[in-house]
Amino acid sequence: MTSRHVEAFLEMLAAERGAARNTLAAYGADLSDFAAFAAAQGVAAHAADAGLLRDWLAGLAAAGFAARTQARRLSAIRQFHRFLAAEGIRPDDPTELLDSPRLPASLPRALTEEEVERLIAAAAGLPGKRGAVAAAAVELLYCSGLRASELVALPAGALRPGEELIAVRGKGGKERLVPVSARARALALAARDAAAEGKGARAARWLFPSRAAAGHLTRQSLALLLKEAALAAGLDPARVSPHVLRHSFASHLLARGADLRSLQVLLGHADIATTQIYTKVLEARLKALVEAHHPLATGGVARGPDFG
């Protein structure tokens, strides 16, 4: 049974931070797991000390949970205890004494620019209305760095005549402006008209209308559409997803000289640290470039005379 303190915490996340339903469900599950562990030790979740928290983390590691899963669960517990301290429910925050699990370095997967062009062309070639919708989705995801949830929820009037920027509502209900290329705009408007045909007034609300309960294209349908386009383009479907296109957008911009602060704004990251992962992509590419083309990298250059 969920405690009143956990319920109050989840209500705060929803009301003050605009947390999405999936986020609230994940936090609730993580807190329930911790509460069950604490109860087995005869302690209420809101009264746990640092020692109990360390034991819980050690149990996660012993059970084989990945470092990222451990870190995510610890993040939920940290925010819960910060809430308790801020509300005066307890005088301290025991999570301040805890170290986060060491996460393995990972690089975002990205398609090459040529692969993205192939994907767009293949998407446009899909039969019927699917081709128009797929081409517009790929183009918008890649040219604007949108999340899948942001793309499918774009209203029908998002693309206003004469405006090169569109307002996007991202995580936590925060809005940002992102650029849209002329080609992406034309494809999206064509897709909207094709998809709305025969769907009635309900379809007039969304840029990507569908017969789904929400009235617009679902994230699952979008992912399947991209897999279909990937197969048509001769690409491994496992390498293509809305998230991969978002990574490709960021990686290609950075490689062409964009600065991290601008990239942070475009991606809608609350913390610059999240954006800094893309510097790893650039570092890896620069290292590969030097190893492939620098004459000393292969030892193929004779040394000059030794004047020593």
Active site residues: 147, 171, 243, 246, 269, 278
Distance of alpha carbon 166 from alpha carbon 180, whole angstroms: 7
Which residues fall within 8 angstroms of residue 301, CB to CB, at 6 or more apart?
295
Which residues fall within 8 angstroms of residue 236, CB to CB, at 6 or more apart?
230
* 260-267 and 242-255 helices, crossing angle to 10°: 160
Say if residues 216 and 206 touch (Cβ distance below 8 Å): yes
Which residues fall within 8 angstroms of residue 17, CB to CB, at 6 or more apart?
172
Say if residues 240 and 115 touch (Cβ distance below 8 Å): no
Q: Rg for the chain (alpha carbons), in Å?
A: 24
What is the Cα 234 distance to its own chain's centre?
25
* 67-86 and 4-16 helices, crossing angle to 10°: 90
* Longest distance between any two alpha carbons in the chain, whole Å: 85
Say if residues 179 and 165 touch (Cβ distance below 8 Å): yes
Number of residues written out for the chain:
308
Distance of alpha carbon 12 from alpha carbon 213, whole angstroms: 28
Q: Which two tokens mark 53?
A: 């928290």
Residue 241 DSSP symbol? -
The residue type at 182: A
| Residue 175 backbone phi and psi in degrees, to 5 | -100, 145
